[in-house]
Each structure stands twice: as structure tokens, then as C-alpha cells.
Chains A and B, each alone.
Chain A
Amino acid sequence: MEPSVAHRVEQVLERVSAQAGTRVSILDLLEKVEAAIGYVPLESIPRLAQSLGVSEAQVAGVLSYYPDLHTQPTGRHVVRVCLGEACLANHGNRVLQAMCKHLQADVGETTSDGRCTVETVYCVGNCGVSPSVVIDEDLYGRVTPDRLPALLERYK
């Protein structure tokens, strides 16, 4: 693990141990690391396990179980196209195809310049104005393939 990444893991652990009295679970801690660093480095598992007083296997098990926890750094932006049924019915799969084509990256891949990682998501509760696309924290509705270039323009 790069020293800078290890340092950020330590920072998360410090912040967590400062919140005395609250029950911190494996999932809690992993979500905090993900939020701070953008992924959970596999090399940090021993340190996280030790801080929680659980086995490495337990931490690894939780990490591999939850789709929202990454084990690799993502691109600068994460682009998620919804494939829930309300979006599918409104032909959200065409949005996904156009997205992959426009960014030249498949689902799960990051563009070669490190700009965007493409992912799918299963419903973001925006079905009333579907199809939906989420870029980082921003949610877009009624997305059509031809809107994508303008939409992505904001994310460099």
C-alpha cells in the first residue's frame, strides 16, 4: 500500500476511535474507508481487522459481499447507469450502450485517461423521471443517449 494511502486509512481509524461509545461494525468501518479514499485497499485488511478485533477473513468477507464497496481505485468520476426495471422499460439499456460507446469503456472499466469509471446500478428511486444516470453525487433523469455528451461535459 502506498504510504499516502496507508496514512489516509490511519486517519479514518483515528476519527472512528475518537467517537467513543458508539458501536462500530465491520461494515461501518469499511463504508467510512470507502467514503474517505474512494475504495478499500485490500492491503489495509489486516490493519482494519486488528483495529476492530476481528479476523481478516471476516473483514474480507464483508468487503467482497457488498457491491458498493470497491477494492480498486475508480476513475476521477463514477458514472452509474440505472438498469432497474422502470429504467429498462424506458430503454435505459440504450443509454448504457451509448454511455459505453461515448466513453469507450465497458461496465466495470475505467477510461484510459482515468476520467470515468462506468458502472450500473439497480434503481435509485428516480423511476418517476427515468431513465436515470448518476454521476458522482449528481442524479439526472429523463436521460436520452443524445444528451450524454453535454451531460458529461461537466466532469473533467
Chain B
Amino acid sequence: MTRLYLSNDTSSHAAGAHRLAEALSARPEVQLVRTSARGAFFLEPIVERDALGGRMAWFNVAPDALPAIIAGQGGTPIQEIPFLARQSRHTFANFGITEPLALDEYQLRGGLKGLEAAVGMTPEAIIQELNVSRLRGRGGAAFPVWNKWEVARQTESAEKFVVANADEGDAGTYCDRMLMEGDPFRLIEGMLICARAIGATSGYIYCRQEYPAAARALEYAIHKAKEAELLEVDGEDFELTIVRGAGSYVCGEETALLESIEGRRGVVRSKPPYPAVAGLYAKPTIVSNVLTFATIPEILARGGAWHASMGTERSRGTVVLQIGGRVKQSGLVEIPFGLTLREALDRFGGGIASGARFKAVQVGGPLGSLFPESKLDIPICYDAFAEAGAILGHGGIVVYDQETDMIDLARHFMAFTADESCGKCTPCRIGSVRGREILERIQAGEGSAEALDLLKDLGETMKATSLCALGGRAPYPVLTAIEHFREEFQRRFTH
């Protein structure tokens, strides 16, 4: 009997893993184990088998290569792949190794140790540990996690909620999807620790419509956790429910998300009150990103000081990047904060796709800034990005090549905001439509230097006066495109 490992991740499927699984199902001498993905998507589909000191791997496997793999011919030791060997996998330590829905495997590899530790601690002590860890939220705003928890803990209420933000709206990002599909018990464990710290009675996972496999995996993992009597907080049942989104980007904003869970239009609420004081059904609620929750179990298991020992002065721990677009090596990268953008692109992205030339890179999704070649020496951490007026967002890094039309890209961003604006505040609702129109006129050859000035004014107004970061950040990709590629815009002017 030969045991082979093949990822069951959505993107491994899309790369052809399902065809391999089909071919292997006809071979009784093969035992196929479906794992999570390594995150090295440029190599998918990957087939692995046990070997001395680790696993051997075969890359970009087509069905006709299977006989050689079964015969054990060729292959590369997995630990020799630089893309993986250069990473510091903590939150993603199990990826490519375990079966996502096997609770016993999760435990064998250290799972539930954080929860065990938390059960033996007072809520105050749990929050103190997070304070020591200096963990900041991974959903975009980078707010200190312990601080929110402390507010929710101190707010008196018979009912409190824990909500995982699994809307993962930023294009170019998929680490939440991978966590939900590939290590769902880690998310559940993080939510349970939070529930204990703030005294929550139930929880929700708001999972976007585009992630059907993630929702299925979570459904099953919740069922298993319940069977194993894990879904309890202080001896009381802790109900965990999955809510599905319906294609709205702004529903990733925490207050719009709460409106959506309550079943209404996902319109942003004015803050304060913050959700930690009055959130879901006006009760104290912690809304945190999936990756944030998944980072917490190991902090409780190993201590806050361990987490604080990684990273830069004000960005502690690891950053999860998803490098994509026109690079040679697309995939998920977990490393301590602090490497420069250039180093990350060289070391992991492997340089620009063959035949293409680098034009710009965007970091932080549709609200993130564009960087030209000359600006790549910026360290990847919250503060350096904030100083540059940029964001890390959810860690999405998209490389554009020389064929990218910057005016069309800028128009795409304004059109996106116009489509996705919740409509509550005027700068975002109207400003984005005006911005799109101006860019369409430039595209039609009716632009002028005044049009660019107008865009700049409009952008500054949106930044200063929008209710949430959708309108407030939407101008950034557009204005950085103009800043770094002004000539390209000017070439389209007729007067």
C-alpha cells in the first residue's frame, strides 16, 4: 500500500487536484490522504508521499505522471523548497500536513493547548497575556486585540457575542479561506478563548458566499467540536452559527457586517458606540478577523512574550502575505514582520513572471496604495506603511506588469467603490461616481490637467469626510497611480 497526500483546498482543486484524485481512486494500491494546502500555489497540484525525514513532493502533477510517483521515482524533499523553507510557519504550521477535519490530528500537533491554558486562567489574565503579546487585529485596522476584549469584558450584559469576520473581501487575499478549509478547529479554538475572556454566550462566523467549501468545512468542524463537548464556556453551551454573506464588499466593515447578520441591508453604522460596547443586537460584541482568532491559540499555549519576541517594534508576530499577480511564485507566505517589500517579492515571489516587466505592486486590496519600482524598500510592518500613507490590509500583494493600463486600473477602483458603497455617506456615494466619470472622460481622450486636479481634490474630500474606510481609502490606489504614472495619464490628454 502506497500512501499519497493531496491537498483538498479549493485552489488545489482549481489547479487540477480533482483530476488526480479521480485517477487515483481507480488504484486500490494507493491510499489517498486529503490534506490542507501548503500555500505554494504556483506548484499546485502537488502530490506528496512519506519519506525518511519528511515528505517527498512532486509539483504541477498531471495524471500521466502518477505511475512514476507511485513507483517512487524522482521527487523533491519538501523541506528543500525555498519558498516554504524560508517561512516561519506558526498560524499556518499544519498546512499541507494534516487532514483538516481530523480533530485528533489537530490535537496531536498542539491544538487545543491554548484553550486548555485559557480555561485555567481568569478572564483578566487571558487579556493580560494578549496585552503582553502585543497582537494587533489582522483584518485591516490593526487595533490592539486585548484592548477591544477588555472593553467587551467590562461592559455589563446578560448576552455577549463573538463574531468572526470571514468576509475576506480584499481581492488578492485568501488566508481566511485557507484557514477555514484547512484548519477550522484553530478558528473555533480562538473564538472559544475570546468567549471565555469576555463572557460571551454565543458566536457567529460571517462567511462570504464565494466560499462554499469553507462553509462546509466549518459546518462539519462545529459539529465535531460539539460532539467532543468543546463548545462550552464556563459550563454553559456556546452556540456557534455560520451566516452566509451575499456578495457585498462593504459587509466586511464590522458594523455593516453586524447589520447583515441581523438580516438587513449592510449599511455602515456611525461609531461610537463601538461593537465592543453595543454590537450585534446592541449587545457587547467582539468582531475580529479569522486570522486574528486563529493566531490566538498559540499565544495562549506559548505565552504572550513568545509572540512579542517576533517582528518589529510596533508590529509583533508574523505577517501573512498572499503574493500574486504577475509573479513567478504565487502563494501564501507567513514570516515575521520587518522584511522589505522588495525582499519579500524577490525571496518568495521569485521575480516577475517570465516575459513580463514589472510596472507596479499593490498592497492591501482595493483600498491599498500602488508602489512603483523605486518605492519597494519599505519594511512590511504597520507603522512604515502608515507613515507612507499606505496600508497592509489583509496582506494581499498584487504585482502588475507593463501591459497594465493605469488609467483603466484607476477607473476600475473608482467603479468598484461606486458599486460597493453602502450609500450612507455622500462623499463615498457621490464622490466615487464622479471619480469614475472623470476617469472615463480621460479614457475617452477628453482629459486635461484640470481633470487630474479635480480628481485630487475629490480624493482629498473623500479621505477626510467619509464615514468608513471604503470612501476614506478608495482614493489611495487612484491617487498613487496618478502620482507615480502621471505621464501615462498626460499622454491621454487632448488639451
Contacts and interface: CB of A to CB of B under 8 A. Distances in A.
A and B interact: yes
B325 A89 contact: yes
Contacts of A66: 246-248, 266
Contact of B324 (A26, A67, A91, A127): A127
A56 to B, nearest CB: 15
A89 B326 contact: yes
Given A27-B260, A86-B325, A125-B211, A139 B244 contact: no
B328 to A, nearest CB: 12
Contacts of B266: 65-66
B255 interface: no
A25 B171 contact: no
A128 interface: yes
A126 B14 contact: yes
Contact of B330 (A62, A127, A132, A139): A127
Interface stretch (A2-10, A98-106, A116-124): A116-124
B264 A128 contact: no
Contacts of A130: 324-325, 330
Interface string B241-273: 001111111000000000011111110000000
Interface in B1-27: 10-11, 13-15
A87 B401 CA distance: 12
Nearest to A132: B14
B409 interface: yes
B289 to A, nearest CB: 14
A24 B404 CA distance: 45
- Most chain B beta-carbon contacts within 10 A, residue among A84, A87, A137: A84
B174 interface: yes
A125 B170 CA distance: 9
A109 to B, nearest CB: 18
Contacts of A68: 209, 245-247
A85 B171 contact: yes
Contacts of A25: 261-264
Contacts of B243: 28
B264 A27 contact: yes
Nearest to A65: B265
A28 B263 contact: yes
A72 to B, nearest CB: 16
A127 B263 contact: no
Contact of A128 (B168, B262, B322, B409): B322
Interface string B157-199: 0000000000011111110110000000000000000000000
B396 interface: yes
A125 B15 contact: no
A88 interface: yes
A135 to B, nearest CB: 12
A126 B412 contact: no
B44 interface: yes
- Most chain B beta-carbon contacts within 10 A, residue among A30, A66, A123, A137: A123
A61 B265 CA distance: 7
Nearest to A34: B246
B299 interface: no
Contacts of B54: none
A141 interface: yes
A142 interface: yes
A45 to B, nearest CB: 15
Nearest to A28: B263
Interface in B41-55: 41-42, 44
A151 to B, nearest CB: 12
A26 B322 CA distance: 35
Contacts of B39: 128
Nearest to B400: A89
Interface string B366-393: 1000000000000000000000000000
B42 A128 contact: yes
A127 B174 contact: yes
A26 B243 CA distance: 12
Nearest to A142: B15
Contacts of A24: 263
B13 A128 contact: no
A128 B331 contact: yes
A89 B399 contact: yes
A90 interface: yes
A30 B266 CA distance: 14
Given A125-B173, A125-B177, A88 B412 contact: yes
A10 B69 CA distance: 54
Contacts of B416: 122
Nearest to B422: A65
A86 B171 contact: yes
B410 to A, nearest CB: 12
A122 B415 CA distance: 12
B11 A126 contact: yes
A42 interface: no
28 contacts: A26-B264, A27-B264, A28-B263, A58-B264, A61-B265, A62-B264, A66-B248, A67-B419, A68-B246, A69-B247, A86-B172, A86-B396, A89-B326, A89-B398, A123-B169, A124-B210, A125-B173, A126-B174, A127-B174, A127-B322, A127-B324, A128-B42, A128-B322, A130-B330, A139-B13, A141-B11, A141-B14, A142-B14
Given A86-B172, A88-B409, A123-B172, 18 more contacts: A27-B260, A27-B264, A29-B263, A65-B248, A65-B265, A68-B209, A84-B171, A85-B325, A86-B325, A88-B404, A89-B325, A89-B326, A91-B403, A123-B171, A125-B168, A125-B211, A127-B171, A127-B324
The 5 lowest CB-CB distance pairs between A and B, nearest first, are A25-B263, A84-B171, A128-B41, A89-B325, A141-B14
Interface of B: 10-11, 13-15, 39, 41-42, 44, 168-174, 176-177, 209-212, 243-249, 260-266, 322, 324-326, 330-332, 362, 365-366, 396, 398-401, 403-404, 409, 412, 416, 419
Interface of A: 24-31, 58, 61-62, 65-69, 83-91, 121-130, 132, 137, 139-142
